[in-house]
Chain A
Amino acid sequence: MAIEVRIPTILRSYTGGAKVVEGSGDTLNDLLTDLDSRHAGLRGRLVTEAGVLHRFVNVYVNDEDVRFLGALDAKLNDGDSVTILPAVAGGAFGFAAAAAIAQHVAAGRRVPVTLG
């Protein structure tokens, strides 16, 4: 059962420079565990300590963003192609601050700043 995985430049230090590697697994989670057995450290760059996909990467199965397919639980089939890209984001306003405000909103507090 082979799944092709495309590795972005920033993570090729884990794959000996390889742009494409192969792995196996019934879910994305299984695949990343399998890859980590040969490319130690790769999984840690994609999955947080809390066990969710990192905010800084986009992972796709074929043509779909895995965030719409169940994230780490996304089902994989033989012949699927998985693409990993660095998420491109940023901006003048601190993301940590934005997250803090979102939590304030969730807590039902009044928020003095409006995010565009």
Chain B
Amino acid sequence: MLSIDRSIVDAIVAHARRDHPDEACGVVAGPVGSDTPTRHIPMENAARSMTFYEFDSMEQLRVWREMDDRDEEPVVIYHSHTATEAYPSRTDISFAGEPGAHYLLVSTREPDTEEIRSFRIVDGVVTEEPVRILDAGVDPHAVQSYMFGQSPATVDYECSDR
């Protein structure tokens, strides 16, 4: 399960909408071992493509070093699909090189709603996981699950049957 603050999800969605119809990509760093994404880092899509994304290698080196200096790791690696569903493509799977990361996909193909899904990709095997969106300042013991289309404190996006 990926637990992530609503403010970070909102920032990721805003980034994806801003770059639409090109694919957007980035990282959410968090303290090593915490599995908690805390620092949103939008990255440049060096491919500037509607169907492909690629971190700029020099920007990546700078960001990865910065994470290292701060005892952080890439907890979430995200990108958007702008005309297809939020499910990893074969390309996504062959490139996935951070076995500890949550691979978050946002589909912006619908103008008014976003599809947000998260996956683990290890040794070419894709495993979808639920996404739990947390509102800061809400009592974590009072967490409730809702479906799409409401405005609850917490939303569990259930995995579809795959």
Complex contact A95–B91 (CB within 8 A): yes
Task: Point out the residues of chain A lying under 8 angstroms from B96, CB to CB.
Answer: 90
Query: Does B37 interact with chain A (Cβ within 8 Å)?
Result: no
Least distance between B2 CB and chain A CB atoms (Å):
18
Query: Does B61 interact with chain A (Cβ within 8 Å)?
Result: yes
Complex contact B79–A86 (CB within 8 A): no
Contact A60-B99, Cβ < 8 Å, known A89-B91, A91-B89, A116-B49: no
Consensus secondary structure, chain A interface: mixed
Complex contact A86–B84 (CB within 8 A): no
Query: Does B12 interact with chain A (Cβ within 8 Å)?
Result: no
Contact A58-B60, Cβ < 8 Å, known A10-B98, A87-B97, A88-B97: yes
Q: Which residue of B lies closest to A55 (CB)?
A: B95
**Contact code string B66-108 (vs A, CB < 8 Å = 1, else 0):** 0000000100010101111000111110111111100000000
Complex contact B52–A115 (CB within 8 A): yes
Task: Point out the residues of chain B lying under 8 angstroms from A57, CB to CB.
Answer: 97
Q: Within residues 95 to 133 of chain B, which ones have a CB less than 8 A from any CB in chain A?
A: 95-100
Tally chain B residues at the interface, Cβ within 8 Å: 39
Q: Within residues 76 to 104 of chain A, which ones have a CB less than 8 A from any CB in chain B?
A: 83, 85-96, 98
Task: Point out the residues of chain A lying under 8 angstroms from B49, CB to CB.
Answer: 91, 93, 115-116
**Contact code string B4-30 (vs A, CB < 8 Å = 1, else 0):** 000000000000000001110100000
Q: Which residue of A lies closest to B58 (CB)?
A: A65
Complex contact A91–B53 (CB within 8 A): yes
Least distance between B71 CB and chain A CB atoms (Å):
12
Complex contact A94–B90 (CB within 8 A): yes
B residues sitting closer than 8 Å to A (CB atoms) are: 21-23, 25, 43, 47-55, 57-58, 60-61, 64-65, 73, 77, 79, 81-84, 88-92, 94-100
Q: Which 4 A-B pairs have the closest CB atoms?
A: A86-B97, A93-B51, A116-B49, A90-B92
20 intermolecular pairs with C-beta atoms under 8 Å apart? A10-B98, A56-B97, A58-B57, A65-B57, A85-B60, A87-B55, A87-B57, A87-B97, A91-B23, A91-B51, A91-B52, A91-B53, A91-B81, A92-B52, A92-B82, A93-B52, A94-B90, A116-B21, A116-B23, A116-B50
A residues sitting closer than 8 Å to B (CB atoms) are: 8-10, 56-58, 60, 63, 65, 67, 83, 85-96, 98, 115-116
